[in-house]
């Protein structure tokens, strides 16, 4: 780092979207069963046994085993390393909750109308990441 002032026009201001999100997984088989079997995300491509992708709207969600780019220790059990929020229609929040319960997924918080205008549902994936399904109400 230098002591110079940063340029006034940062190249990071040209970022227009989050293109893809990578979840580093501990148990790939369990995570695949969850994201494909319970959440029903369609598999877009499988680059290797350690990297798979799902297309969700205009974004890609990838499941990956830690490798050359991230050799971090796994997140301790009971600690979320991220939260993902999936937007649905208002009626679908409750339907998603029913589907999760049918599959035996514990809800962290059942469908709830929030004072800021969202109906939310919270649950965890097999690696403990916090997931939210929400709708604007």
Domain boundaries defined on the chain? 18-66, 83-136
pLDDT of residue 7: 61
**Rounded Cα gap, residues 63 and 46, in angstroms:** 10
pLDDT of residue 118: 97
Q: Do domains 18-66 and 83-136 have the same CATH topology?
A: yes
Contact 114/128 with Cβ under 8 angstroms? Answer: no
CATH architecture, range 18-66? Roll (3.10)
77: exposed, middle or buried (C-beta count within 10 Å: 0-12, 13-18, 19+)?
exposed
Summarize pLDDT for 16-73 with one digit per residue, the tens: 878 899 998 889 999 999 999 999 999 999 999 999 999 999 899 999 988 766 666 6
CATH architecture, range 83-136? Roll (3.10)
């Amino acid at each position: 780092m230098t002591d110079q002032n940063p340029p006034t026009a940062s190249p990071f201001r040209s970022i227009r979207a989050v293109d893809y999100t990578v979840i580093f997984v501990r148990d790939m088989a369990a995570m695949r069963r969850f994201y494909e079997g319970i959440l029903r995300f369609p598999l877009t491509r499988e680059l290797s046994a350690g990297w798979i992708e799902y297309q969700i709207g205009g974004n890609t969600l990838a499941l990956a085993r830690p490798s050359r780019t991230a050799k971090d220790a796994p997140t301790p059990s009971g600690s979320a390393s991220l939260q993902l929020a999936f937007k649905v229609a208002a009626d679908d929040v409750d339907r998603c909750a029913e589907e999760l319960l049918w599959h035996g997924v514990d809800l962290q918080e059942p469908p709830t109308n929030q004072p800021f205008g969202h109906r939310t549902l919270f649950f965890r994936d097999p690696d403990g990441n916090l997931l939210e399904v929400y709708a604007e109400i």
